[in-house]
A and B are shown apart, each in its own frame.
Chain A
Amino acid sequence: MRISPYLDKDCIKIPLENEKKHHIIQELLDLITEKYDEVDQEITLQSLLEREKIETTGIGENVAIPHARIKKIQKVYFAFGIAQKGVEFDSLDQRPVRLVFLILCPEKKVNTQIGLLARLSRFVHDKRLRKKLLKCQNSQDVIRVFTKYEDKHFS
């Protein structure tokens, strides 16, 4: 499963404006809801925050992947942002987060969600990829970095 086809240039923000976990989740969600009417802001935010309560999505190494399965959406939505300063995200390694991926999946597409989370969490363990992402200046850079990485490692 490739990540790059899910990247949407309008749902990538560099740098993120907020500096708090919940605000950053909201900020990334806004990118999606501003473009796609089927994503309900309130319900989705609630689901994302509920998921954070189970266990943090700050997986360490300056990366967080907030995510949720949502009943009334028909496709996968993906947003990405880079925080200029590290953000406190209750991360497993206590380190501040800079790279934030937000994933929304239709409720019944559990296997898609598992595949995306598994692939993405493996990706971001690669220090070289994280370094390249941190250097990105805009959404085109992000899409290019991901596409190139996937072409090289998962073609």
Chain B
Amino acid sequence: MKLIIIFLNKIEYLDDLLSAFLEIGVPGATILDSVGMGHIVSHDIPIFAGLRDFFAGSSPTNKTILMVTQKDMISKIDEVLKDVTGYDQQTGIAKMVSLPVDGLFGFDR
């Protein structure tokens, strides 16, 4: 099993992305409201206010999507993410990582 984490900066893709995940059989995910570090640094810590132009790409709001899935789903999820967001064509739209899961507790078997 794998834990997939998707950092979705362009949140306008969220609805389509979740619909597409349902289509390929992703049974569920947890979606968190999140904020890019650069945005917090340059807007909430005054000494870094002069760096707002540098951190301009850092999202004021983004979504972090967490899902536990079978290993063979990773490539399908990647395809869907590419298809919906085009994140492989342009930086700053989304990022995805997958991590090995060594224990599952409280999940439906």
Distance between A77 CB and nearest chain B CB, rounded to angstroms: 16
Structural contact, B51 and A110, CB atoms closer than 8 A: yes
Complex interface residues of chain B between 47 and 76 (CB less than 8 A to chain A): 47-52, 54
Could you list 26 A-B pairs, sorted by A, with CB under 8 Å? A51-B50, A54-B49, A54-B50, A54-B52, A55-B46, A55-B49, A55-B50, A56-B46, A57-B46, A57-B47, A59-B46, A59-B47, A65-B47, A67-B50, A68-B50, A69-B50, A92-B46, A110-B51, A110-B54, A113-B51, A114-B48, A114-B51, A114-B54, A117-B47, A117-B48, A121-B47
The 6 nearest A-B residue pairs measured at CB: A55-B49, A55-B46, A51-B50, A54-B49, A121-B47, A110-B54
Interface residues of A, count at CB 8 A:
16
Contacts of B47 in A (CB 8 A): 57, 59, 65, 117, 121
Spell out A's residues near B (CB within 8 Å): 51, 54-57, 59, 65, 67-69, 92, 110, 113-114, 117, 121
**A113 CA to B54 CA, complexed, in Å:** 11
Closest to B48 in A: A117
Spell out B's residues near A (CB within 8 Å): 46-52, 54
**A69 CA to B48 CA, complexed, in Å:** 12
Interface of A is mostly: mixed
Distance between A80 CB and nearest chain B CB, rounded to angstroms: 16
**A67 CA to B52 CA, complexed, in Å:** 14
Distance between B52 CB and nearest chain A CB, rounded to angstroms: 7
**A50 CA to B48 CA, complexed, in Å:** 14
Contacts of A69 in B (CB 8 A): 50
**A110 CA to B52 CA, complexed, in Å:** 11
Contacts of B51 in A (CB 8 A): 110, 113-114
**A81 CA to B52 CA, complexed, in Å:** 27
**A117 CA to B45 CA, complexed, in Å:** 11
Most B CB contacts (10 A, CB to CB) among A54, A55, A57, A113 go to A55
Closest to A117 in B: B47
Contacts of A54 in B (CB 8 A): 49-50, 52
**A59 CA to B49 CA, complexed, in Å:** 11
